[in-house]
Amino acid sequence: MINFEKISKNIFCVFIFFFPFFFIPQINVSQVLNEKVFLLIFAFFIFLFQLLDIFFSKKIVLKDGPIQRLIVFLMSSFLISLLFSKNIFLSFWGRPAQADAFIVFLACFIIFYLSSIIKRRGILKILESFVAGSAILSILFIIKKFTGTSLVIFDSLSSTAVIISVAFVVLISFVFNNLGYFRKGKSYNIAKVISMGTFFVLFLTSLILIDFKLSWFFVSIGSFLVFWRSMIESNFAFKRKKAVLSLSLFFVFLVLFFLPNPFVEKNIEPKLSYESSWSIAEKSLGESVKNFLIGSGPSTYSYQFSLYRDKSFNEIDSSLMFKEGSIPLLTFFVTGGFLTILSLLLLIGFFYYQGFRYFLNFRKENNSVNALDLLFPTIFCLSLLMFFYRIDIATLFLFFSTLGLWSGQQKGEEMIINIPSPKIIKIAISFIFILWVLIIFNFISYYRAEIHYQKSISNYNNQGAIIESIAEMEKAASLWKSSDYNVGLSQLYLIKASEEFEQRWTTKEKKDEQKQSIKEDALKAEASAKIACASEKNNFQSWQNLGLVYENTNFLVEDKTEEAIAAYEKAKALAPQNYDIYVAIARLLEEDKKYEEALAEYKKALELNPLDEAVVEKINELQ
């Protein structure tokens, strides 16, 4: 009989070992997209073996408990938000650099369920694999740092630091709660001591070199929880070496948290402020009852940001666009609404209740390590990311998988659903398998499209090869329904038409060919821009791009001033605080000799950005 439980555990160990390496960008695509690949492949394989287990055993085993119910509640809120999203397609797949897509939460839900059926010994193996993989990631980072190699790795140092710090917390918890592991009779097992000491040095060195403060906060919490546990074990008699060592580590990590590191160059990642995030969330929730309850839909934060952002962004960069809030909770407020936030907070809150109740009432009965001793500080730190970090696929994966491991160790009713008919099993499994294969197949197209998109940008930026860039962008647009690809394609055609216009031919035949070619490129630019608007009606950038195409083809083909203004007006309705749109409308009205209307638009633009001297000059000219 095939042991599917053992196979699932081994798959978990393999994937969790290689998990840290998906922080390394591949083929010029974003780190987030690589993490999506990892998540979907992992969920597919482990789900496949679960389906085979159901097929051979003719039963479905489900564990019923409060955490399981809250996870179902959370996924149901995401599903409802998806179904009523402003853009269902975008909400399901997300953009390449967006982590809050429904497909990500679906994969995390599957991983949660499957990790909850793994036994205690399997949990320890999985956590050991994670620590080992993170140690190798630390080695790669240290090599890059000290040798100056040109390895294109570590797209986000903060994400790398978070993962290493979580592995560090697991390591500290394992060492201090499993001292018997290092014993060999009355002496110590030198090999085990050296291996754990090496991991400790690697993690410490990497975190010092990165110096991401949140990571020091995590390891401080992990050390404090170990110290407090040791105090409980000794009835708060401060005599044990474990208590002294763990408290010493706590103070060291706390000093590193507060102490600035002058030897590390700070790499500040662009981030929306808490004030702006809260303001956008408040206005978005007040938009309608639907938005209050279920939000605008996963991965649609950029729509709400455009609608409700403050005019102060015009003074920095009017084209600045944020796809998430300052922290996950404020993002989910906007995209998932009250139901999502409620279910998420209930889930985290109940875990705290279970965890601290176990932690405070603990009495150790033997020298063997308890998996819960390792999982509680790990999940506790990961849950804090919802309040202090950003939405990240890596941390979501770790949070849901470790929470699944935790819930599997809790007391709860085990539900066994016997399936009487083999035919029902075959039909159900075939349907689910085909559905999952379709998801994977479409995601492959998504990934290929992004590769072509990045190649197109690279070709144009590095070589100015407009023909090759268009060819790559056309492949991207044909493979995947994305406004970004079609906006890019329309701009490339517009550039090509402008370049052709600059050419000076002397013969009538060449001039006729030139006019025809310019007209064809202008029409292609317009067609691509319209496709972008149709695929994302709530994206102001698509409408702004369409207006730009019309405006720039006025002198190339025919006058389309009215169409350009109409497109800009739609963009203005979706981004009322973007002063560039007002300037564009004013410019067209001025060219059309509608000076009073143009003056009104210039004045609105000046209200949004008082620092634009060119707008001031225009107002003075027209008054």
Write out 151-220 in H/E/C secondary structure.
CCCCCCHHHHHHHHHHHHHHHHHHHHHCHHHHEECCEECHHHHHHHHHHHHHHHHHHHHHCCHHHHHHHH
Task: Identify residue 257 by its one-letter amino acid code.
Answer: F
Q: Are 160 and 19 in contact (CB under 8 A)?
A: no
| Residue recorded with tokens 């095939």 | 2
* Residue 60 phi, psi (nearest 5): -115, 125
Task: Please give the DSSP secondary-structure letter assigned to residue 370.
Answer: P
If asked whether residues 525 and 387 sit together in one domain, one would say no
Q: Are 608 and 579 in contact (CB under 8 A)?
A: yes
| Residue recorded with tokens 């993989």 | 133
Q: What is the mean pLDDT of residues 547-568?
A: 87
Among residues 384, 419, 454, the one where a domain terminates is 419
Task: Give per-residue pLDDT as tens, 113-147.
Answer: 888 888 777 888 888 888 888 898 888 888 878 87
Task: Give per-residue pLDDT as tens, 312-324.
Answer: 888 777 778 889 9
If asked whether residues 408 and 484 sit together in one domain, one would say no
Q: Are 269 and 154 in contact (CB under 8 A)?
A: no
Which secondary structure element, helix H or strand E, spans residue 23, and what is its range? none
Nearest to 9 by CA among 125, 110, 108, 107: 125
Domain-embedded: residue 438: no
If asked whether residues 481 and 568 sit together in one domain, one would say yes
Domain-embedded: residue 453: no
How high is the pLDDT of residue 155?
58
Among residues 363, 385, 419, the one where a domain terminates is 419
Q: What is the mean pLDDT of residues 341-363?
A: 88
Read off the CATH number of the domain in which 493 is found: 1.25.40.10
- Tokens for 96, please give them: 């390449």
Long-range CB contact pairs, 478-482, < 8 A, 24+: 479/445, 479/446, 479/448, 479/449, 479/452, 480/445, 480/446, 480/449, 480/450, 481/89, 481/535, 482/95, 482/449, 482/535
How high is the pLDDT of residue 152?
47
Residue 267 pLDDT exceeds 70: no
Domain-embedded: residue 347: yes
If asked whether residues 415 and 477 sit together in one domain, one would say no
Q: How far apart are the first and last CA of the chain?
A: 88
Could you give the 3-state DSSP secondary structure of residue 228? helix
Q: Are 132 and 123 in contact (CB under 8 A)?
A: no
Domain-embedded: residue 106: yes
- What confidence category does residue 273 fall into, taking pLDDT thresholds of 50, 70 and 90? confident
Q: Are 103 and 95 in contact (CB under 8 A)?
A: no
Residue 27 pLDDT exceeds 70: no
Domain-embedded: residue 424: no
Query: Into how many domains does the chain fold?
Result: 2
How high is the pLDDT of residue 239?
63
If asked whether residues 372 and 498 sit together in one domain, one would say no
- Tokens for 297, please give them: 């839909």
Could you give the 3-state DSSP secondary structure of residue 337? helix
Task: Give per-residue pLDDT as tens, 328-347.
Answer: 999 999 999 999 999 999 99
Q: What is the mean pLDDT of residues 500-521?
A: 78
Which secondary structure element, helix H or strand E, spans residue 321, and what is its range? none
Residue 253 pLDDT exceeds 60: yes
If asked whether residues 365 and 479 sit together in one domain, one would say no
Could you give the 3-state DSSP secondary structure of residue 63? strand
If asked whether residues 481 and 613 sit together in one domain, one would say yes
If asked whether residues 476 and 541 sit together in one domain, one would say yes
Residue 493 pLDDT exceeds 70: yes
Among residues 419, 450, 484, the one where a domain terminates is 419
**Bridge partner residues of 183 (DSSP):** 188
Task: Give per-residue pLDDT as tens, 163-176.
Answer: 899 999 999 888 88
Domain extent at residue 583 = 466-622
If asked whether residues 414 and 504 sit together in one domain, one would say no
- Tokens for 420, please give them: 């009487």
Domain-embedded: residue 592: yes
Distance CA 571, CA 513 (A): 35
- What confidence category does residue 622 fall into, taking pLDDT thresholds of 50, 70 and 90? confident
Nearest to 75 by CA among 45, 39, 111, 115: 111
How high is the pLDDT of residue 510?
75
- Mean pLDDT (the chain) is 85
Nearest to 8 by CA among 36, 48, 67: 48
Could you give the 3-state DSSP secondary structure of residue 237? coil
